[in-house]
């Protein structure tokens, strides 16, 4: 049985697709946060307030890592860039864990191990 027809392939595929979707939503919201701050959006506007409120939970762990670069109302929020990078790294690590659970044949394992040795 090759690894593409394994019973574990479909759930792993769906798991990685769900994870990519979640990461895409978080990254998109953080891009909006970054752009709104950069362009000095009115924080009391409904859309701006919504984005700041929904992304605050994702930005909290990183808020005091860097200082704020501000020029006449525009804020370059380094912490949002850091958050986006860290969430991407976490998603990649989780996907690698999912893929470790994929069934492989003995010949596939031998080829992959040989590549890792080099």
Please tell me the predicted confidence (pLDDT) of residue 28: 97
Please tell me the predicted confidence (pLDDT) of residue 67: 81
Spans of all domains in the chain: 8-117
Task: Check residue 75 and report its DSSP letter.
Answer: E
Please tell me the predicted confidence (pLDDT) of residue 5: 60
User: Checking phi first, is residue 21 left (phi over 0); if not, alpha (psi -120 to 50) or beta?
Assistant: alpha
Distance CA 102, CA 59 (A): 33
First CA to last CA across the chain, in angstroms? 27
Please tell me the predicted confidence (pLDDT) of residue 8: 65
Residues 6+ apart with CB under 8 A from 40: 72, 73, 74, 75
Please tell me the predicted confidence (pLDDT) of residue 54: 97
Please tell me the predicted confidence (pLDDT) of residue 27: 97
**pLDDT per position in the chain (118 positions), as tens?**
455 566 667 788 888 899 999 999 999 999 999 999 999 999 999 999 999 999 999 999 998 898 878 888 889 999 999 999 999 999 999 999 888 877 777 787 777 778 777 7
Please tell me the predicted confidence (pLDDT) of residue 98: 84
Please tell me the predicted confidence (pLDDT) of residue 49: 97
Task: Name the helix (H) or strand (E) containing 23.
Answer: helix 9-38
Please tell me the predicted confidence (pLDDT) of residue 1: 47
Would you state the structure tokens that stand for residue 65, as one six-digit string? 């890592």
**What is the distance, to the nearest Å, from the Cα of residue 112 to the centroid of all Cα atoms in its chain?**
27
């Amino acid at each position: 049985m090759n690894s593409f027809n394994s019973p574990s392939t479909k759930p792993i595929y769906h798991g990685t697709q769900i994870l990519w979707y979640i990461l895409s939503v978080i990254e998109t919201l953080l891009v909006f946060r970054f752009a709104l701050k950069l362009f000095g959006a009115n924080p009391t506007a409904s859309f701006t307030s919504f984005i700041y409120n929904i992304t605050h939970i994702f930005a909290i762990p990183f808020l005091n890592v860097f200082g704020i670069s501000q020029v006449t109302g525009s804020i370059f929020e380094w912490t949002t860039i850091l958050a986006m990078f860290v969430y991407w790294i976490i998603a990649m690590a989780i996907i690698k864990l999912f893929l470790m659970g994929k069934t492989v044949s003995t010949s596939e394992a031998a080829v992959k191990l040989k590549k890792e040795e080099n």
